[in-house]
Amino acid sequence: MNSVDNSITTVNVDVLVIGGGIAGLWTLARLHQAGYKSILLEAEALGAGQTRYAQGIIHGGTKYALTGKLTALSAAVASMPTRWRACHEGTGELDLTRAELLSDAHYLWSTRRLTSRLSGFFASKVMHSRSTEVKKSALPSLFQHKAFNGQLYQLDEPVFNTLSVIRAIAEPLKDYILPVKTDSLQHDNDSVVVTSQGGENYRFHYQSVLLMAGEGNENLLSRFDYNTPQMQRRPLKMVIVRGGLTDRVYAHCLGASVNPRITITSHFDADGNIVWYLGGQLAEDGVHKSNTDLICTAKKELAELIPWLDLKQSQWGVLEINRAEIKKAGSTRPDSFSIEQSDNIITAWPTKLALAPALADALIEQIQQQVKKTTAAFSVPNWESVTYADFPWNEADVWMKNV
Ligand SMILES: Cc1cc2nc3c(=O)[nH]c(=O)nc-3n(C[C@H](O)[C@H](O)[C@H](O)COP(=O)(O)OP(=O)(O)OC[C@H]3O[C@@H](n4cnc5c(N)ncnc54)[C@H](O)[C@@H]3O)c2cc1C
């Protein structure tokens, strides 16, 4: 039963989820399906954290298996493309039929013939079902150029418009999402007190809280008086380019190392222009460069890799963003999602957008063991609506002048 005194509305929930990125929303949807009374708190706008910066690739593990053997991360993500596709086709656990599939596949591209090690790897049993070499006649249009003499492998990895996914999941649940003021959250025994973005105060009594706020988990943990689990930030500087682009590309370009030299995904800005979004080693190394130097490097890379592309009239920008994950020795990448529990507070990071379904499975299992579904009617106050984040390339000031 909810109650209101003069200044605060009390709401009883089974599970309180904090953070409206892909992980929190996917989990909220699964909790509702499973019959748990759950509310999600979002401090900014839905998708406002890493999710709006993600390239949207639903990895099946190939990128992580380039060492020639399946790593733990590649095994963890192997079934994710199938699960996301099923959701998009309307037969999966969530309804993503309204989400935008940007590309049905992602490609691996090498500028020269692959080394024998890599050719052997692609021919191996492990990779056989996940990748196919693309015949010259079937190459995406950008690679049809006579100057292209590399190889392309098609990977079973769909690419989604991440914010359309956020909207598809959140719309049916919007009554259960409260926009809150960032620093208003206080922990008070087994309740959380917050001020909504509209200035109303709410107290949530809960059985379990899920901290799923990405980089915000660090601050939230301290508000709950915990100093573990520790979080790591792995920064990236992603380059964006628009103007002069007519092809949409979704590909990792292989370089000398096992990390892709560059990963290109293609998106649209608010005016419908194609925006190329450049990740991979370029973005990892970019954090040690000034924005101007990084753009210079990106121009050289593209000129070397796709010399027939004319980018003289293009506009360039740099997006700085941290990946937030559980802390690993030497800041190495975690193998999969992570879940840590202290009392009835569970902290979770998906590590990859692709892994949100697997993270939700594990959380639901944990909640089923620990949280008793309450039978009282679940009435939610008529609070203000949450907003949706936009893509960073739609912010005018991220585009640099004179570069
Ligand atoms: C540049 C880049 C590219 C990437 N590309 C890919 C890719 O192609 N494929 C892939 O699988 N993964 C990719 N990733 C990783 C992926 O983006 C993340 O793993 C995933 O988006 C994390 O989701 P999340 O919900 O945990 O966190 P976030 O998306 O960061 O969401 C956290 C939410 O919590 C909210 N919040 C913060 N503090 C509070 C608070 N105190 N109270 C309430 N709410 C709060 C934030 O506003 C935000 O909405 C990429 C990451 C980056 C940075």
pLDDT of residue 189: 85
Q: How confident is the model over 307-331, as pLDDT tens digits?
A: 999 999 999 999 999 999 999 998 8
Give the model's pLDDT for residue 5. Answer: 65
Determine if ligand 1 sits within 6 Å of the CB of residue 30.
Answer: no
Residue 66 confidence (pLDDT)? 62
- Provide φ and ψ at 374, rounded to 5°: -85, 150
Please tell me the residue having the least CA distance from ligand 1 atom 53: 323
Residue 47 CA, ligand 1 centroid: distance in Å: 7
Question: Is the beta carbon of 353 within 6 A of some atom in ligand 1?
Answer: yes
Q: What pLDDT was estimated at residue 65?
A: 62
Instruction: Say how many Å lie between the CA of residue 356 and the centre of ligand 1.
Output: 10
Model pLDDT, residue 71 = 67
Q: Which atom of ligand 1 is nearest to the CA of 22?
A: 25
Q: Ligand 1: does its nearest atom lie under 6 Å from the Cβ of 81? A: no
Q: Per the structure block, which two tokens stand in for 215? A: 């980089």
Q: What is the pLDDT of residues 258-299, one digit of tens each?
A: 789 999 999 999 999 999 999 999 999 999 999 999 999 999
For residue 272, what is the DSSP state? S
- CA of 381 from ligand 1 middle (Å) equals 28
- The pLDDT of residue 87 is above 90: yes
Inside any domain, residue 65: no
- Which strand (E) or helix (H) includes residue 81? helix 80-89
- The percentage of residues in the chain with a pLDDT greater than 90, rounded to a whole number, is 80
> Is position 31 within any domain?
yes
Ligand 1 site, residue 52, Cβ cutoff 6 A? no
Per-chain mean pLDDT for the chain: 92
Mean pLDDT of 68-94: 86
Q: Say which DSSP state 388 is in.
A: B
Indicate if ligand 1 lies below 6 Å from the C-beta of 301.
no
Q: How far is the CA of 70 from the centre of ligand 1 (A)?
A: 25
Verify whether ligand 1 is closer than 6 Å to residue 286 (CB atom): no
214 CB near ligand 1 (under 6 Å): yes
Ligand 1 atom index nearest CA of 19 = 34
Q: Indicate whether 4 belongs to any domain.
A: yes
12-23 average pLDDT score: 98
pLDDT of residue 26: 99
Q: Is residue 104 situated within a structural domain?
A: no
Cα of 21 to ligand 1 centre, how many Å? Answer: 5
Backbone φ, ψ for residue 337 (5° rounding): -65, 165
Is pLDDT above 80 for 11?
yes
Please count the helices (runs of H) and the strands (runs of E) in the chain.
10, 22
The CA distances from residue 114 to 149, 153, 235, 256, 357, in Å, are 11, 11, 30, 11, 34
Report the C-alpha gap between 152 and 112 in whole angstroms: 10
Check if the beta carbon of residue 316 is closer than 8 Å to that of residue 240.
yes
Q: Does the structure show a pLDDT above 80 at 76?
A: no
State mean pLDDT over 391-397: 97
212 lies in some domain? yes
pLDDT per residue over 194-243, tens digit each?
A: 999 999 999 999 999 999 999 999 999 999 999 999 999 999 999 999 99
SS3 of 44, please?
A: coil
Q: What does the pLDDT read at residue 82?
A: 95
- For residue 53 and ligand 1, the question of a CB distance below 6 A is answered with yes
The structural domain count of the chain equals 1
Q: Is 237 in the pocket of ligand 1 (CB under 6 A)?
A: no
Angle at 167 between CA 158 and CA 43, to 5 degrees: 120
Predicted local confidence at residue 382, as pLDDT: 95
Tell me the per-residue pLDDT of 181-198, one tens digit each, with 9 for 90 and over. 999 999 988 899 999 999
Ligand 1 pocket test: which of 353, 355, 359 has the largest number of ligand atoms within 8 Å of its C-beta?
353
Q: Which residue in the block uniquely carries the two structure tokens 């915000």?
A: 216
Residue 73 has pLDDT above 90, yes or no: no
> Contact, 145 vs 308, CB < 8 A?
yes
Q: Is residue 371 part of a domain?
A: yes
pLDDT category at 163 given cuts 50, 70, 90 is very high
Instruction: Report DSSP state, residue 329.
Output: G
Per-residue buried b or exposed e for 243-277, using 16+ beta carbons within 10 Å of the residue's own CB: eebeebbbbbbbbeeebbbbbbbbbbeeeeebbbb
Ligand 1: atom nearest CA of 57 is 8
Q: Is the pLDDT of residue 122 over 70?
A: no
Give the position, in ligand 1's atom list, of the atom nearest the Cα of 355: 11
pLDDT higher than threshold 70 for residue 118: no
Is residue 10 helix, strand or coil? strand
Would you say the CB of residue 61 lies under 6 angstroms from ligand 1? no
Instruction: Establish if 128 belongs to a structural domain.
Output: no
Return d(Cα 267, Cα 294) in angstroms, integer.
21
Domain that holds residue 368: 1-56+161-230+327-395
Residue type, position 104, single letter = D
Q: Is the CA virtual torsion 62, 20, 347, 51 positive or negative?
A: positive
Within a domain: residue 208?
yes
**Residue 358 near ligand 1, beta carbon < 6 Å:** no
Q: What is the mean predicted confidence (pLDDT) over 157-163?
A: 97
- CATH classification at residue 366: 3.50.50.60
Mutate which of 352, 387, 391, 393 for ligand 1? The one with the most ligand atoms within 8 Å of its CB, which is 352
> What pTM, to 2 d.p., does this model score?
0.95
